[in-house]
Structure 1
């Protein structure tokens, strides 16, 4: 395997947007993000050219001196081969199991009674292995079990990533829209929509965010990060139909109070919470009329 280079940048919470904007301008190949228990975000950028990452490191150091940058060589891997070796099915709630396509034939035998969600593991977020994805699917399963969601209802999947949440909704009889600002994520979601036999009109996918939303939905899912969840609170609440459900995740438990406050300021009652380790989902299952 040849050597490539990785720039790892740890940024304080108040620098997230500035660093994301800088990377959007400077890095065409994309990057990884990881929310840390401290509220910081860790970004990882991989590139074959060390000189380009050194230039980026200097730019970040100049514009965001509080960010910590570490540049190091790493051995390039066959990422898909690694996924195939270590990817394990993930059961979520009472209804779902997330599987890669190459394990699809095992679903009926190994997971009877569960709805298999086939996800091709690529760069887009959302294979079910991250706690926030599993939390959201668990909440969807519980809402279906409780009769809060039924076939024919509509959903919005904001920050759809791989499309895993939208696919789970469609396989449960719902229909809706998935939005993501990353075009690679939209491509991956389209592939997973097709792989699960879902019609394009049942799960409409597009690049964008709340500016694309023109209606209200019976279920709004937003599995993104605490800061955008807080900033978009008024728009997200407006997208919720009265009597519908709202599920927010992508946030640490220590961030939940601040995010919930933003939604209570928009007229919502206190949220119900589901926690998995350090991660949290906020749930409203009866949105009041406004």
Structure 2
């Protein structure tokens, strides 16, 4: 169970071990009480299967008393007493993930760091990701699944317009732009990610194709002006995917393809259902490293 978008550079973590029922209640009340751009909530079963864990990442230091009170209301005094808070040291997550990692192949794409430029095969489309405080290097199952889906879709024809929602480092937008040599509109709710994506597009000589905007949701007029889109990418989390379903499907061209990820297996059916009821059909379901990527299409 995941709620909210990943906050950039989280500074504090709340952690709780409890029962499944209490974990779900706590996750629900916390996610409803805080800005989803400022927090990320996860409730999941521990590896031993005996307890559930709740982790809440905060961009800023939370009011610990207020958080404990929310948990007490949701699950009782005993559960609230088990909460622990931790400060997180600032970390450049992308740089950390790239250090020591080999280039990643996904179809024709080869995602690499600056230290591996000479290891990109001549036949591959190389995408270099500059270390920055944003999510998406190709080494994560969600990004890898989306890249593979983009590469597969290239065999079905050239889209006329592409949209990447929650672009992070911009890797998916850059991949689509370089694969098809056409304009891509990319958006993110976080200003740091927007700057990182723009820098990466320039680094990969894709800045003439990739336009990155700072926007929350999909109701900004700039989305409508660029659509309808034959290919829409959204690698975020289940709750925002479901919440954006109506607005996102409205931007998809007839016969268009939607690639969704950031989904753990228990929530895949929820996301599929949200988009099916709005006119899309499931084309492919792929799981990589415990993360699901869905390819869906809008019928003609």
Secondary structure, in 3 states, of the residue corresponding to 2:122? coil
* Partner residue in 1 for 2:295: 283
In structure 2, relative to structure 1, the CA distance for the partners of 1:258 and 1:82 (3 Å cut) is closer
Deviation at 1:155, TM superposition (A): 0.5
- Note closer, same or farther for the CA distance 1:76–1:204 as it changes in structure 2 (3 Å cut): closer
Determine which of 145, 165, 173 is the counterpart of 2:172: 165
- For 2:69 and 2:198, the matched residues in 1 are separated by 39
SS across alignment from 2:14 = strand
Partner of 2:242: 230
1:1-290 correspondence runs (5 A): 6-9=12-15, 12=24, 13-15=27-29, 17-18=31-32, 20-21=34-35, 24=38, 33=40, 37-38=44-45, 42-45=55-58, 53=61, 56-65=63-72, 66=74, 69-72=83-86, 82-83=96-97, 85-92=99-106, 94-107=107-120, 111-144=121-154, 146=155, 148-150=156-158, 153-172=160-179, 173-200=181-208, 202-208=209-215, 209-212=217-220, 213-214=223-224, 215-284=227-296, 286-289=297-300
SS of structure 1 residue aligned to 2:298: coil
Q: Please give the alpha-carbon distance, in whole angstroms, between the structure 2 residues aligned to 1:122 and 1:266.
A: 36
Taking a change above 3 Å as real, the CA distance of residues 36 and 63 of structure 1, as seen in their structure-2 partners, is closer
Q: Structure 1 length normalisation: TM-score?
A: 0.79
* Structure 2: distance between partners of 1:249 and 1:78: 23
* Residue-pair matches, total: 263
> Following the alignment from structure 2 to structure 1, what is the Cα–Cα distance between the partners of residues 275 and 89?
44
- How far apart are 1:139 and its partner, in Å? 0.5
Deviations 1:25-58 (A, max 9, x none): xxxxxx7x575655987333488xxxxx4x5322
Contact 1:37-1:252 within 8 A present in 2 as well:
no
The answer on whether the counterparts of 2:254 and 2:298 sit within 8 Å (CA) in structure 1 is yes
Query: How many angstroms does 1:282 deviate by?
Result: 1.1
Residue 235 of structure 1 deviates from its aligned partner by 1.0
Counterparts in 2 of 1:64 and 1:271: CA distance versus 1, 3 Å: farther
Deviation for aligned residue 1:258: 0.8
**Mind listing any 5+ residue stretches in structure 1 that lack a counterpart?**
25-30, 48-52
* SS of 2:64 mapped into structure 1: helix
Deviating more after overlay: 205-214 vs 159-168: 205-214
Comparing 62-71 with 254-263, greater Cα deviation is found at 62-71
Q: Does structure 1 retain, via aligned residues, the 8 Å contact 2:165–2:234?
A: yes
Q: Distance in 2 between matches of 1:118 and 1:256?
A: 30
Render the CA deviation track for 1:203-261: whole Å, top value 9, x for unaligned.
11111131122121010001111011111111111111111111111111110101111
Partner of 2:4: none
